[in-house]
Amino acid sequence: MAEKAKAPNGKLGVMVVGLGAVTTTFMTGVLMARKGLAKPVGSMTQYDKIRVGKGADKKYLHYKDIVPLADLNDIEFAAWDVYPANAYESALNAEVLKEKDIEPVKDELVKIKPIKAAFDKNYAKRLDGDNVKDCKTRWEMVEALREDIRKFKEESGVERVVVLWAASTEVYVPINEKVHYTLADLEKAMKDNDTENIAPSMCYAYAALKEGAPFIMGAPNTTVDIPAMWELAEQTKLPIAGKDFKTGQTLVKSGFAPIIGTRCLGLSGWFSTNILGNRDGLVLDEPANFRTKEVSKLSTLESILVPEDQPDLYGHGNDEDTQYYHKVRINYYPPRNDNKEGWDNIDIFGWMNYPMQIKINFLCRDSILAAPLCLDLVLLSDLAARAGRYGTQRFLSFFLKSPQHDYTQDEVPVNHLFQQYVMLKNAIREMGGYEADEEID
């Protein structure tokens, strides 16, 4: 039987990297919900009910009635950002929420002033803020970030901290076995200031884990999905999760692809395109940054509709004629700001190979979908830490586009939304002292 989670005592500090649209929407929503002025819609930890027990003992309960989740009233926020605007100014600038939904918690938001960010412009060329640490090396970045975490703990009096990356997508960092495979090599590269292989996000993750804080990667960056970080998470006995919040198009894909698979229909191609105009869109307009995102968005489908398993259904479409054709595009379009639009064109075929098409047009609000994920990932990572779970938290893949997995052992990540949901429910059951009683088929 897995370990039951210990009850939280004291406050939970949530330190977020990036104080942009997603973070300020998340913070404002939590603060408004605490006052009973808004509802945390979309949050599994606040709304979902799952079954525990079987037969006569069967009950459907909210998560908080199964496991000891931190209460929204016990959360204290802090953030790092390259821009000096406080959370209130940043929430207004983001133009996601109406002023009337921000004003009631203005006093609390004004107090959240961003800590200077550990930043390297080469990793996000489109960002131009000056609220940045003056660090000569990556190791100095780590030391400065560790100091920030200690200082926040001391000043706010929180008992526990979780660090969440909700900042921009960095340029793609290919995994380098000489640097990323062992903790000793990673630390040496940080000390040698290997700026090519060590992204700033790695410094945040390293600092968090060293300071006893679980770390969550909400962008598709190569950060904690490297063996060196897994080693550090084992050493510090802390949970890590990543990567990339599963909000709009990929959520649709991970839920819709199972329809095609379960119904045994064929797939010739799936074309996905997006327009968005927020800071995320601006950064992703840079090809090197888009490459990071593309790898994460493309990986979803391939593990749900597997050509090797069903060659008749998924073995057609591209030039090699061994698999359906899958393409993903993102275009920066400022007029839309945070209101992203995603189009999916799906070419399927049925009986006797006759073709059909499905079109999905999702006019989503990026931050409105991401904010509840931030809350769930933070609360569940904190819970996992109190249950003695450490290393990659695969049960959190429900919330993530490109779930972390051990590729050194050829592990295939679970991307199928309903299988991910089974993993989530089983973990909640275990941490509540119940039996994990659902199978992933």
For the chain, state the CA radius of gyration.
Answer: 21
- Residue 323, SS3? coil
**Predicted pLDDT at 292:** 78
pLDDT given for residue 317 in this prediction? 57
Cα gap 243→257, rounded to integer Å: 20
Q: Which of 219, 140, 137, 237 is nearest to 173 (CA)?
A: 219
Specify the pLDDT at position 298. Answer: 72
How remote is the C-alpha of 56 from its chain's centroid?
A: 38
Which CATH number, 3.30.360.10, 1.25.40.340, 1.10.3720.10, 3.40.50.300, labels domain 249-365?
3.30.360.10
pTM here? 0.95
Fold of 12-245+368-431: Rossmann fold (3.40.50)
Residue 424's CB is within 10 A of a number of other CB atoms, namely: 22
Bin 352: left if φ > 0, else alpha if -120 < ψ < 50, else beta. left
Angle, helix 249-262 to helix 417-431, in steps of 10 degrees: 100
Beta strand residue intervals within 264-307, DSSP E: 266-276
Query: At what angle are helices 183-191 and 227-236 packed, to 10 degrees?
Result: 100
Distance CA 123, CA 145 (A): 18
The pLDDT of residue 57: 93
Q: For the chain (length 441 residues), average pLDDT per consecutive 10?
A: 86 98 98 98 98 96 98 98 98 96 98 98 92 97 98 98 96 95 98 98 98 97 96 98 93 95 96 88 82 76 91 74 85 89 96 97 94 98 98 97 94 94 98 95 85
Residue 232, helix vs strand vs coil: helix
d(CA 441, CA 103): 48
* String of DSSP letters for 86-106: -HHHHHHHHTSS-GGGTGGGH
CB neighbours of 402 closer than 8 A, spacing ≥ 6? 220, 242, 243, 244, 295, 296, 297, 299, 300, 413
Report pLDDT for 316: 67
Domain boundaries, the chain: 12-245+368-431, 249-365
Beta-carbon contacts of residue 438 (< 8 Å; ≥ 6 apart)? 422, 425, 426
